[in-house]
Structure 1
């Protein structure tokens, strides 16, 4: 479990580095819904997390705010739940109150959490 936690921390740091590359810069802002922004930083951090977290465990499910939900995740015992930028509005407004949020749940119970 300790190795899994360390790998999750490394993934959070890598995704965080991606967000910092964009923070305070100029980039296009899309809207998923009327009041729900998404940026290239969200999408790149999400791709980084998906690659790193599923690399050693491709059998784990995946649920992300930035990825289309896949119903097969419901059949998986373990599922990664991530938000690559939890606080996108703050990120866009350059308020330093956002995090990379990662959880691993097993049979519906959280077993790893990193922000």
Structure 2
């Protein structure tokens, strides 16, 4: 038990020394501004909250070849969309009795 703690302490110390020796300076950057032109009147002012409610542009098609191949298809197939949403989650918990709970899951949905 004592050797594993000593080994873990040595590994942690080695990592801290390595990170201290290999670090590079990181300069803070200014916040990127909005790319909108200045409004001509007060009514045209757009706040970041309003930007979240503006409709997003459609994603471009994967290839133009698919677009050309579906030109003659019926409107039901030509205008339909298929969106794949993928997500994953990781869980790790270490108890006081040195037991570990670890789980990873992946899933998603098609719309």
Same fold flag (TM > 0.5): no
Which structure is higher in strand share? 1
TM-score, normalised by the number of residues in structure 1: 0.22
Which structure is higher in helix share? 1
Structure label with greater radius of gyration: 2
TM-score, normalised by the number of residues in structure 2: 0.22
Give the structure, 1 or 2, with the largest relative contact order (CA under 8 Å, sep 6 or more): 1
